Amino acid sequence: MSVCHRHLDPPWQVFDPTGSLLGGGPGPLTEGDLMAVVQVSIPNAKTQADISRYWATLLAVAIITAFLAMIAFYVTIRYVVVRPLRHLRDVSDAISHGNIAMRADIHTGDEFEGLGVAFNRMLRHLTTIQDELRRANTKLDGKVDELAQVNMQLYEMNRVKSDFMATMSHELRTPLNSILGFSDVLGSLDALDEKQKRYVRNIQKSGQLLLDMINNILDLAKIESGKMEIQLTDFDIAQLVSTQCDMARPLTEKKNIDLDTEIQPGLPPMHQDQGRVHQILNNLLSNAIKFTPEGGRIRVTAERDRQQLLVLKVIDTGVGIAEEDQQAIFEKFRQGKTAMPSGDAITREYSGTGLGLSIVKELCKLLGGEVSVDSALGTGSTFSVRLPWKLEKQPLLDSPLMVGFEDFARPRLDPRREAVAEPLSAGTKHTTSGEKR
């Protein structure tokens, strides 16, 4: 606002540009004197409206700027980041569905293009490895087919061997029983002197050993062919254990071995195959007597546990079994190392075919149970048999050899292996029932 000064000499007056008098005075002005007071006023409503309009304009500009920036950022991210990643994802999905010929096609001139190049390099390497693996699998497939055919031939040979063993065992037992019968008659004659009676006893002993061996071979042949049958009856397990131990006492007395029993009192009748349980205990006792030195001890225990299982144990103070042999002793024709310096000396020190424990294992499986051993060299052995107290039905009588053979051969049966399928199906026609051969 401009001010017009008029008549500054006394008396003086001050006017605005419109000519309105603002002020004046009677005397002259000196330095420091108050000349006038000027008051400026602005309309409040108009000012507030202008300020609000300015802020609204500023806010609108800021919102529009932020929105445009977000759109630009989205477009940039979509085409610079998301699009290459989506392309890599699509290529990966195609490869996962078997289209290994797909390749990444990214030309962005940045790190994503480098990632695409590395991705394609990896795919080429995987393709090369897959081709090599396919060729190796094809070669291996042919070898396995050859092995399947060889196994079928071996199975057939083993079946023929089992049939031969069973037939020959029957044929050998007939004359052997006659020899044992006549030796018993001969031994009862009073006309024999002591030397002749000793010869007769040797005949009886050797004949009985041979008969036991033949019986073991026959049992093994039946087990392998799946024709071992069981007869379920009710019997007193305490009486069975006592009877078997009484039968074994003459052998233990010859070696001065202390044989005792520990049977849980009040045991109810057991529903199992009495003959097979008797055979299991007989084999374990014979094994314990054989490997227990003179002056040793053998203890037989029988009880029923909470799972309604018969727990039958034969504990001896014999030579013991090495830990690495505790599984091998249950295999056919195998015996473990003893505490002697030479491991193979066992076959010379202790006679036997190595069939007793393998038959025990198979009989336990046949009766729905199991057998285990706890032993160490020089500390004796504990053989534990666990059998169901009541066997409701006879387990499957599949040949152990056939089960293992089918586990191997069945995966080979598919449309691509018709050449293998035909001889396999012919080989499996030999059932285990004994009615179809």
pLDDT, residue 407, reads 55
Q: What are residue 129's phi and psi, to 5 degrees?
A: -65, -40
pLDDT, residue 252, reads 92
Return the DSSP state at 345. Answer: G
SS3 state at 361: helix
Specify burial of residue 224 (Cβ count, 10 A radius: 0-12, 13-18, 19+). buried
- Greatest Cα pair distance, the chain, in angstroms, is 190
Rounded CA separation 388/383 (Å): 17
Among 2-11, 60-69, 174-183, 200-209, the range with the most confident prediction by mean pLDDT is 60-69
pLDDT, residue 381, reads 93
Rounded CA separation 406/431 (Å): 13
pLDDT, residue 53, reads 86
pLDDT, residue 174, reads 77
Give buried/exposed letters for 250-269 (b at 16+ CB in 10 A, else e): eebeeeebebeeebeeebee
Q: Which of the four pLDDT bands, split at 50, 70 and 90, describes residue 340? A: very low
The answer to whether 309 and 389 are in contact (CB under 8 A) is yes
Return the DSSP state at 393. Answer: S
Rounded CA separation 176/208 (Å): 9
Which amino acid is located at 122 in the chain? Answer: M
Angle between helix axes 111-187 and 83-96 (nearest 10 degrees) is: 30
Rounded CA separation 28/8 (Å): 7
Lowest mean pLDDT among 93-107, 240-254, 309-323, 377-391: 93-107
Nearest C-alpha neighbor of 361 from the set 380, 379, 386: 386
pLDDT, residue 243, reads 92
259-264 long-range contacts, CB within 8 A, separation 24+? 259/297, 259/298, 259/299, 259/300, 260/297, 260/298, 260/299, 260/300, 261/299, 261/300, 261/301, 261/302, 262/299, 262/300, 262/301, 262/302, 263/237, 263/238, 263/301, 263/302, 263/303, 264/302, 264/303, 264/304
Q: Which of the four pLDDT bands, split at 50, 70 and 90, describes residue 417? A: very low
pLDDT digits (tens, 9 = 90+) for 73-84: 888 777 767 777
Q: What is the mean pLDDT of residues 116-130?
A: 83
Q: What is the mean pLDDT of residues 60-75?
A: 89
Residue 416 has pLDDT above 60, yes or no: no
Rounded CA separation 63/105 (Å): 38
Q: Which of the four pLDDT bands, split at 50, 70 and 90, describes residue 352? A: low
Q: Which of the four pLDDT bands, split at 50, 70 and 90, describes residue 184? A: confident
pLDDT, residue 347, reads 45
Helix (H) or strand (E) holding 347: helix 346-349
pLDDT digits (tens, 9 = 90+) for 307-331: 999 999 999 999 888 888 888 888 8
Helix (H) or strand (E) holding 301: strand 297-304
Between 34 and 258, the more confident residue is 258
Q: Which of the four pLDDT bands, split at 50, 70 and 90, describes residue 392? A: confident
Q: Which of the four pLDDT bands, split at 50, 70 and 90, describes residue 336? A: low
Residue 285 has pLDDT above 50, yes or no: yes
pLDDT digits (tens, 9 = 90+) for 95-113: 777 777 778 777 777 777 7
SS3 state at 189: coil
Rounded CA separation 119/298 (Å): 73
SS3 state at 180: helix
pLDDT, residue 263, reads 93
pLDDT, residue 41, reads 62
Question: What's the mean pLDDT when you consider all of the chain?
Answer: 77
The arrangement of strands across the sheet holding 297-304 comes to 258-263, 297-304, 309-316, 381-388, 370-375
Rounded CA separation 223/226 (Å): 5
Q: Can you say how many angstroms the Cα of residue 90 is from the centroid of all Cα atoms in its chain?
A: 37
pLDDT, residue 419, reads 41
The arrangement of strands across the sheet holding 12-15 comes to 4-6, 12-15, 21-25
